Structure 1
Amino acid sequence: MPMTRRLRVLHVGKFYPPHRGGMESHVQTLARELSAEVDVEVLVSNDGRQTVRETLDGMPVTRIGTLASFASASVNPGMARAIRQAAADVVHFHHPNPTGVLSYLASGRRGPLVVTYHSDIIRQRVLGAAFAPVLHRFLRGAHAILASSPDYAASSPVLRRHAERVRVIPFGIDAASFERADAEEVAEIRARYGPRLVVAAGRLVYYKGFDYLVRAMGAVDGRLVILGDGPLRRALQALAEELGVGQRVTLAGAVPELAPWYHAADVFALPAVARSEAFGLVQLEAMAAGTPVVNTRLDSGVPFVSRDGETGITVPPADADALAAALRRLLNDAALRRRLGDAARERVRREFSLEGMVADTLAVYREAATPVMDVSRNPSR
Structure 2
Amino acid sequence: MIKVLHFFKTYFPETPGGGIEQVIFQLAQGSANYGIEPQVLYLSANGSARNQTVGNHITHRSRQDLYMASTGLSLSGIRDFKQLAAQADIVHYHFPWPYMDVAHFATRLKKPSLVSYHSDIVKQKTLLKLYTPLMNHFLGSVDRIVASSPNYAASSEVLTRFKDKVEIIPYGLDRTTYPAPSPSRLAHWKQQLGERFFLFVGALRYYKGLDFLLEAAHLTKLPVVIMGGGHDELQLKAKAKALGLNNVTFLGGLGDEDKNALLTLCEAFVFPSHLRSESFGISLLEGAMYGKPMISCEMGSGTTFINIADETGLVVPPRDSNALATAMATLWNDRDLASRLGAKAAERYEAVFTAEKMVRSYATLYRDILNKR
> TM bucket by the smaller chain?
over 0.9
Change (3 A) 1:179 1:288: farther
Structure 2 counterpart SS, 1:78: helix
- Which deviates further from its counterpart, 84-93 or 30-39? 30-39
Contact 2:26 2:174 in 1 (8 A): no
What corresponds to 2:120 in structure 1? 120
User: Deviation of residue 188 (structure 1)?
Assistant: 3.2
Contact 2:45 2:65 in 1 (8 A): no
AA aligned opposite 1:161: R
AA aligned opposite 1:244: G
In the TM superposition, 1:3-14 aligns within 5 A as: 6-14=1-9
AA aligned opposite 2:11: Y
What corresponds to 2:296 in structure 1? 295
- 2:69 is aligned with 1:71: yes
In the TM superposition, 1:206-285 aligns within 5 A as: 206-245=206-245, 247-257=246-256, 258-285=259-286
Match of 1:17 among 8, 12, 23: 12
User: Deviation of residue 304 (structure 1)?
Assistant: 1.0
In the TM superposition, 1:110-149 aligns within 5 A as: 110-149=110-149
What corresponds to 1:378 in structure 2? none
- Which deviates further from its counterpart, 185-194 or 156-165? 185-194
In the TM superposition, 1:1-381 aligns within 5 A as: 6-18=1-13, 19-20=15-16, 21-36=18-33, 37-48=35-46, 50-56=47-53, 57-86=55-84, 87-176=87-176, 181-245=181-245, 247-257=246-256, 258-370=259-371
**Partners of 2:88 and 2:313 in 1: CA distance:** 42
AA aligned opposite 2:203: R
**Partners of 1:268 and 1:53 in 2: CA distance:** 39
Contact 1:179 1:289 in 2 (8 A): no
**Partners of 1:177 and 1:81 in 2: CA distance:** 34
Q: Deviations over 1:239-295 (max 9, x none)?
A: 1110111x2111101111222111211111100011001100111111111110110
Give me the identity figure in percent.
Answer: 33
AA aligned opposite 2:217: M
**Partners of 2:343 and 2:65 in 1: CA distance:** 49
Change (3 A) 1:273 1:52: same
AA aligned opposite 1:10: L
Change (3 A) 1:231 1:91: same
TM-score, normalisation: structure 1: 0.92
Change (3 A) 1:349 1:220: same
Q: Deviations over 1:186-214 (max 9, x none)?
A: 34323322233011010111101111101
User: Deviation of residue 181 (structure 1)?
Assistant: 4.5
**Partners of 1:205 and 1:130 in 2: CA distance:** 24
For structure 2, which runs of at least 5 residues remain unmatched after alignment? none
What corresponds to 1:375 in structure 2? none
Looking at secondary structure, tell me which structure has more helix per residue: 2
User: Deviation of residue 176 (structure 1)?
Assistant: 4.8
User: Deviation of residue 184 (structure 1)?
Assistant: 4.3
User: Deviation of residue 143 (structure 1)?
Assistant: 1.3
Change (3 A) 1:74 1:179: closer
Contact 2:221 2:247 in 1 (8 A): no
AA aligned opposite 2:23: H
AA aligned opposite 2:37: D
CA RMSD of aligned residues (A): 1.6
**Partners of 1:92 and 1:335 in 2: CA distance:** 44
Structure 2 counterpart SS, 1:114: strand
User: Deviation of residue 179 (structure 1)?
Assistant: 9.2
Contact 1:175 1:349 in 2 (8 A): no
User: Deviation of residue 83 (structure 1)?
Assistant: 2.4
Q: Deviations over 1:95-122 (max 9, x none)?
A: 0011111111111010211110000111
Structure 2 counterpart SS, 1:329: helix
